[in-house]
């Protein structure tokens, strides 16, 4: 009897906790759909929610990257080959790569911030505090909120020209596993502040409002539990114990209309309601508070090397899309000139896929920020979310050139 009770408890516990398939020997495979039928099949596969799509289907002749656990590989291979899709392996053993990178990270671990390594949430926060205390005339750090699990969310303002100057709002890390995003954002802030004399002209004409890691609980979870976590970590009341919402489906503009899911177990779960996620309310409130001072909104993701503008909820373009496209072209030209890294430019629906509830659409559609961009940083799938730390500095260097173009544009267009 006792054994039965124990067994029942084990079974119940197993049912309550969603089993996370092991990353050991998991692979990322790439297929390129060449027919509408193949594309449709990949969309169906995406909807099933069985596999983790590192790059979702975008259109014909554009690669789709799918991660599958070892146990799911035969099934995936069968369904793909049934439609004449020939997979090539991009990453042979995701688990081993994660382990290798963890060992490397711990070997080079210093408590201090640097850009030779990825750093956790506390280290980023401590670095921001230090920067603000080292440069009180240039930087201001404010606590603007608290995450679901209780982590402090800070806004760093960088600028010497006073609060009335036009501003650029920059955030990173909305998706937890996209580690190059907070790393690149902090690199750029560090560059601006530690070489403040070089950029004194820009810094006196433009304010930079920066939140490098706006999904703190999810980000920290990728360091402690699951490197591939994307969402927030809020409770969802899912009977399967699934947690978190996709913070980039949670914004209140055409919320949950397209490219999002109402299932809490999905990686693109829109949340129980618009702005159900406290972290997104915090960022929203800062954008509202700063109001018309913000001329540009930049949100950094990875990966695929894309510089995108609204809309994400429709294939229609905003009336002023040509203005957004022009600035994106200039920014990307400067980016590419540094290391030859190529980026694609376009509206997000037309460049990747329709997905409503994104922060970029809200910034433009509700927040009134004319120039709203989502930037998908390096790479194009060789490492994907597991981009080696040795690419942080090159990514930072090239993205900083793009940011300078944007900042100079703001200065020349809006600064008196
Ligand atoms: O799907 C997303 O949220 C972004 N891509 S990612 O692979 N980093 O997840 C793209 C968002 C583009 N913007 C909107 N759809 N609004
Ligand atoms: Zn993302």
Question: Residue 9 domain-assigned?
Answer: no
Q: Is 159 left (phi over 0), alpha (psi -120 to 50) or beta?
A: left
408 in the same domain as 263: yes
Residue 212 reports pLDDT greater than 70: yes
388 in the same domain as 361: yes
| Residue 196 alpha carbon to ligand 1 centre in Å | 33
H/E stretch holding 344 reads strand 344-347
Count of domains for the chain: 2
Residue 17 reports pLDDT greater than 90: no
203 in the same domain as 119: yes
Question: Residue 11 domain-assigned?
Answer: no
* CB-based contact 148:217 (threshold 8 Å): yes
Looking up tokens 């006792």, which residue turns up? 2
Residue 3 reports pLDDT greater than 80: no
Angstrom distance (rounded) from CA 161 to CA 206? 7
Q: How many residues does the chain have?
A: 416
Question: Which atom belonging to ligand 1 lies closest to the Cα atom of 302?
Answer: 8
pLDDT of residue 1: 44
Give yes or no for residue 348 CB within 6 A of ligand 1. Answer: yes
117 in the same domain as 96: no
DSSP, res 304:
S
Question: Residue 250 domain-assigned?
Answer: yes
pLDDT of residue 249: 98
| Residue 151 alpha carbon to ligand 1 centre in Å | 24
Query: pLDDT by residue (tens digit) across 71-84?
Result: 999 999 999 999 99
Question: Which atom belonging to ligand 1 lies closest to the Cα atom of 310?
Answer: 16
- Quick one: which ligand is closest to 172's CA? 2
pLDDT of residue 406: 98
- Quick one: which ligand is closest to 246's CA? 1
ω into 11 cis (within 30 of 0): no
Question: Residue 68 domain-assigned?
Answer: yes
175-185 average pLDDT score: 98
Q: Pick from 7, 398, 391: which is nearest to 191 by CA?
A: 398
Residue 371 reports pLDDT greater than 50: yes
pLDDT of residue 50: 87
Among the candidates 46, 71, 100, a domain finishes at: 100
Task: Give the strands of the sheet with 52-55, arranged side by side.
Answer: 52-55, 64-68, 27-31, 88-91
Angstrom distance (rounded) from CA 330 to CA 402? 8
pLDDT of residue 246: 98
Question: Which atom belonging to ligand 1 lies closest to the Cα atom of 360?
Answer: 16
233 in the same domain as 116: yes
Angstrom distance (rounded) from CA 384 to CA 305? 11
The residue segments making up the domain with residue 293 are 112-414
Residue 398: active-site member: no
The band of 4, judged by pLDDT with boundaries at 50, 70 and 90, is: very low
Question: Residue 1 domain-assigned?
Answer: no
Question: Residue 306 domain-assigned?
Answer: yes
- Among the listed residues 178, 191, 277, 376, the single catalytic one is 376
pLDDT of residue 11: 41
156-180 average pLDDT score: 98
Question: Residue 241 domain-assigned?
Answer: yes
136 in the same domain as 77: no
206 in the same domain as 60: no
367-382 average pLDDT score: 98
| Residue 175 alpha carbon to ligand 2 centre in Å | 5
Give yes or no for residue 361 CB within 6 A of ligand 1. Answer: yes
Residue 5 reports pLDDT greater than 90: no
| Residue 364 alpha carbon to ligand 1 centre in Å | 15
Helices (H), 67-164: 73-82, 94-107, 121-134
- Prediction pTM value: 0.95
Among the candidates 37, 71, 100, a domain finishes at: 100
93 in the same domain as 45: yes
pLDDT of residue 22: 86
Helices (H), 207-313: 216-224, 278-290
Looking up tokens 């996209």, which residue turns up? 178
241 in the same domain as 127: yes
Looking up tokens 């914004």, which residue turns up? 251
182 in the same domain as 88: no
- Averaged pLDDT of the chain: 94
Question: Residue 5 domain-assigned?
Answer: no
List the CATH number of the domain containing 146.
3.40.630.10
The band of 48, judged by pLDDT with boundaries at 50, 70 and 90, is: confident
List the CATH number of the domain containing 87.
3.30.70.340
79 in the same domain as 206: no
Among the candidates 51, 80, 100, a domain finishes at: 100
Give the tokens for residue 176.
Answer: 């937890």
36 in the same domain as 175: no
What per-residue string of b and e applies to 339-376 under the rule 16 or more CB within 10 Å gives b?
Answer: eebebbbbbbbbbbbbbbbbbbbbbbbebebbbbbbbb
């Amino acid at each position: 009897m006792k054994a039965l009770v124990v067994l029942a408890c084990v079974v119940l516990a197993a049912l309550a906790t969603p089993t996370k398939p092991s990353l050991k020997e998991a692979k990322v495979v790439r297929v390129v759909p060449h027919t509408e039928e193949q594309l449709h099949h990949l969309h169906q596969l995406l909807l099933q929610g069985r596999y983790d799509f590192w790059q979702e289907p975008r259109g014909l002749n554009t690669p789709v990257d799918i991660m599958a656990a070892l146990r799911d590989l035969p099934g995936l291979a069968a369904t793909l080959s049934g439609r004449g899709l020939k997979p090539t392996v991009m990453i042979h053993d995701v688990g081993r790569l994660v382990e290798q990178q963890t060992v490397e990270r711990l070997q080079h671990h210093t408590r201090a911030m640097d850009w030779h390594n990825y750093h956790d949430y506390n280290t980023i926060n401590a670095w921001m505090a230090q920067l603000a205390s080292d440069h009180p005339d240039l930087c201001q750090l404010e606590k603007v909120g608290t995450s679901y699990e209780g982590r402090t969310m800070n806004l760093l303002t960088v600028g010497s020209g006073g609060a009335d100057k036009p501003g650029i709002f920059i955030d990173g890390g909305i998706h937890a596993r996209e580690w190059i995003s907070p790393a690149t954002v902090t690199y750029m802030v560090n560059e601006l502040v530690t070489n403040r004399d070089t950029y004194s002209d820009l810094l006196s004409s433009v304010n930079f409002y920066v939140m490098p890691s706006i999904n703190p609980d999810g980000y920290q979870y990728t360091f402690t539990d699951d490197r591939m976590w994307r969402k927030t970590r809020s409770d969802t009341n899912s009977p399967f114990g699934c947690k978190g919402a996709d913070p980039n489906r949670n914004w209140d503009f055409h919320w949950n209309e397209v490219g999002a899911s109402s299932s809490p177990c999905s990686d693109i779960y829109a949340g129980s309601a618009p702005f159900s996620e406290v972290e997104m309310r915090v960022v929203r409130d800062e954008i509202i508070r700063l109001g018309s001072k913000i001329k540009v909104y930049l949100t950094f993701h990875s990966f695929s090397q894309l510089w995108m503008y609204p809309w994400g909820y429709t294939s229609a373009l905003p009336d002023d899309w040509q203005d957004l496209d022009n600035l994106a072209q200039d920014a990307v030209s400067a980016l590419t000139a540094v290391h030859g890294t190529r980026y694609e430019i376009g509206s997000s629906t037309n460049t990747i896929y329709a997905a409503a509830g994104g922060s970029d659409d809200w910034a433009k559609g509700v927040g009134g920020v004319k120039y709203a961009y989502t930037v998908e940083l390096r790479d194009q799938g060789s490492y994907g979310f597991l981009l080696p730390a040795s690419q942080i500095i090159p990514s930072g260097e090239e993205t900083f050139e793009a940011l300078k173009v944007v900042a100079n544009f703001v200065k020349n267009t809006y600064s008196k």
